[in-house]
Structure 1
Amino acid sequence: MAQVYLSIGSNMQRKRNISGGLKALKQHFGALEISTVYESEAVGFAGDNFYNLVVGFQAEQDADSLNKLFKQIEADHDRTRLDAKFAPRTLDIDLLIYGELIRPEIDLPRKEITRYAFVLKPMAEMAPDALHPEIKQSYQQLWQDFTDDKQKLWAADWQV
């Protein structure tokens, strides 16, 4: 069993899509640890604000199998894959951490953890004392050291 953390986000029918994604994850993995839901402005494009959160659970499946499952859950929620990396999304589920596994070819641990407030803050909330597998600093320390003040982030007016 591996401790897994996911980032979940949506800026299209946010409540419906995130709730549906969480329901699907619960059906596959049972009880989930769920962070505060945060709201942030779209990054990299002009669009509606996102809701973002981090979810943790124990998984027996390997990282590749999990990624396939997450893509299917996204597709079940009308996620379309566009050429543009930064675009509106019905549901985005990204594998952030899979135990201590480091696999650059599938972006583990996910680089967005240290780049974006909307990933790092809920990750620091979920696992403050856990160490990032590559950097070997706690997520709480990484959040305390985060300096990109252009990324606005606040607790959403909706929690799951």
Structure 2
Amino acid sequence: MSHLVYIGLGANLNDPLTTVRTAIDELAQITNTQLVGRSRIYISKPMGPADQPDYVNAVVALQTELSPHELYSATSNIEQIHGRTRDGAHWGPRTLDLDILLYGNQQIDDETLTIPHYGLTEREFVVYPILDIDSELVLPCGTKLQDLATNLPFNDMKAI
């Protein structure tokens, strides 16, 4: 069975624009997965410590036959290819961060995954790129993403 999923991409180290563009291509190459949509690419201010470079962000929509945990494994492999290390630093600089934001209408909360992603509704660098792909998206909880966007500031985010 195939599922529509949304993956958030973010990077702010090395050459983040090239990294995000390359990662989009790599996501499209995941087994039993097809790229069906992509947002514009954005520059956003970092969450957390301000003494780090701005982020390059995007969201892609994929149609996949992989389970949520298989997809997580595939995205983690792509992060590792780009030098991602998980040192426990929250909101620190990243060579590449790939987050499964939505996986169909499923709600998952286990030791590995939280889907929908816990920060999805509060982060402009996720909400607005998803709306680039689907302006009518309704979250699994029944909330229209567009309704969330009306109360979520753009915060100096820039499309490039």
Same fold (TM over 0.5): yes
State the AA in 2 paired with 1:83: G
- Does residue 33 (structure 1) correspond to residue 40 (structure 2)? The answer is no
5+ residue gaps, structure 2:
none
Give me the whole-angstrom Cα distance separating, in 1, the residues matched to 2:117 and 2:102: 7
1:100-131 residue CA offsets vs partner (Å, 9 max, x unmatched): 00012221101221111111111122222121
Residues 97, 22 of structure 1: alpha-carbon distance in 2 compared, 3 angstrom cutoff:
same
TM-score for the superposition, normalised by structure 2? 0.89
Q: Aligned AA for 1:129? A: E
Q: CA RMSD in A?
A: 1.4
Mark the runs of 5 or more structure 1 residues left unpaired by the alignment.
none
**Other structure's SS at 2:129 match:** helix
Matched-pair contact (CA < 8 Å) for 2:108–2:116: yes
CA deviation after TM superposition for structure 1 residue 92, in Å: 0.6
Equivalent position of 2:72 in the other structure: 67
Q: Higher strand fraction: Structure 1 or Structure 2?
A: 2
How many pairs were matched up? 153
Secondary structure of the 2:87 match is: coil
Opposite residue 111 of structure 1, the aligned amino acid is Y
- Is 2:156 aligned against 1:140? no
After TM superposition, the structure 1 = structure 2 runs for residues 1-160 of structure 1, keeping only pairs within 5 Å, are 1-12=2-13, 13-28=15-30, 29-45=33-49, 46-105=51-110, 106-134=113-141, 136-146=142-152, 148=153, 151-156=155-160
> Sequence identity of aligned pairs in percent?
27
